[in-house]
């Protein structure tokens, strides 16, 4: 999935989204790995990146040195504020906060 679509999907997700982006770094990675140009590094990344879906039937030896990319987790959970409202409603008796909720705000 292209990065732009991953970001769009993350922004449309209710709750928390984490998107990790891997990019070449000519000033450090390139020097340490004797790659002279950004083009060499991009070629390296392209050759050594593999989609998560394709790794299912691969052995550890085949995956050695590969960069696994793709979507690792996709969970739709309620946002924090929604869950907080649910918890307050569960703990309220007849529409009024219970003593345990009131005690939490007294400090």
List, for residues 36-75, the tens digit of each pLDDT value. 888 888 898 889 999 888 999 999 999 999 999 888 888 8
pLDDT score at 94 = 64
CA-to-CA dists, residue 55 to 51, 58, 65, angstroms? 7, 5, 13
Share of the chain above pLDDT 70, in %: 86
**Are 34 and 21 contacting, i.e. CB atoms less than 8 angstroms apart?**
no
The pLDDT, as a whole number, for residue 92 is 77
Q: What is the mean pLDDT of residues 66-88?
A: 83
Which of 15-19, 22-26, 30-34, 59-63: highest mean pLDDT?
Answer: 59-63
pLDDT, average across residues 21-37: 80
What pLDDT, on the 0 to 100 scale, is given for residue 105? Answer: 65
């Amino acid at each position: 999935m292209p990065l732009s679509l991953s970001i769009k999907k993350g922004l449309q997700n209710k709750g928390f989204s984490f998107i990790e982006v891997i990019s070449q770094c000519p000033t450090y990675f390139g020097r340490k790995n004797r790659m002279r140009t950004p083009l060499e590094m991009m070629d390296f990344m392209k050759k050594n990146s593999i989609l998560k879906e394709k790794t299912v039937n691969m052995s550890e030896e085949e995956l050695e040195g590969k960069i696994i990319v793709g979507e690792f987790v996709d969970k739709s959970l309620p946002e924090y504020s929604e869950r907080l409202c649910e918890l307050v409603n569960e703990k309220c008796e007849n529409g009024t906060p219970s003593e345990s909720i009131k005690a939490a705000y007294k400090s």
